[in-house]
Amino acid sequence: MSRIGNLPISLPKGVEVKVSKSNLVTVKGPKGELNQQVDQDMKLEIEDGELKINRPTEQKRHRALHGLYRSLVNNMVTGVTDGYKVNLELIGVGYRASNQGQLLELQLGYSHPIMFYVPDEVKVTTEMKKGTPPQIVLEGIDKQLIGQIAAKIRAFRKPEPYKGKGVLFKGEVIRRKAGKTASK
């Protein structure tokens, strides 16, 4: 029994959901439009302002896909109504971030700057305030895409446990390790 898969997805006002015969789900809302291909076996029903996803059998494969597609469609509905936002912090001496449109320039302690082009579906902004670490803010309607871009930016300089330097998600806590001097 999938607890997540059985939950209905409530559709707020202004959100329009269309399901084609090939199970392509299209969600339109005030912030944009998203598409997701749902497995052919899953049955989607829209009634009373709610979308329900049903599985045909209790096979392991169907049980696995039931909760997955419910979560993906729910993320699409949330994205077109509210949107998603991810904050990244650059912790380290001399670490800087700046952007010109969708081109993000990062100084992360290497001998060269890192130039990273962010796709047009995601809005990127950088903040450099005195007394706080530089921040990168990613905003958009596609949760998967924002998470993937944030992970790529974080991979340029992952946080290390000895000094805590690197690219972190805002609010992330790094487990610190003692250095060599702690063994004496």
Domains in the chain: how many in total? Answer: 2
Which of these three, 31, 64, 81, is where a domain ends? 81
Share of residues in the chain with pLDDT > 90 (%): 68
Please indicate, yes or no, whether residues 72 and 90 belong to a single structural domain of this protein.
Answer: no
Q: Looking at the whole model, is its pTM more than 0.85?
A: yes
Over residues 123-182, the pLDDT tens digits come to: 999 999 999 999 999 999 999 999 999 999 999 999 999 998 999 999 888 999 988 875
Please indicate, yes or no, whether residues 70 and 10 belong to a single structural domain of this protein.
Answer: yes
Q: Which domain holds residue 136?
A: 84-169
CB atoms under 10 Å from CB of 184, counted, come to 4
Give the closest residue to 84 by CA, choosing from 21, 39, 148, 38: 148
Asked if residue 176 is part of any domain, the answer here is no
For residues 29 and 2, give the distance between their C-alpha atoms in angstroms, rounded to a whole number: 28
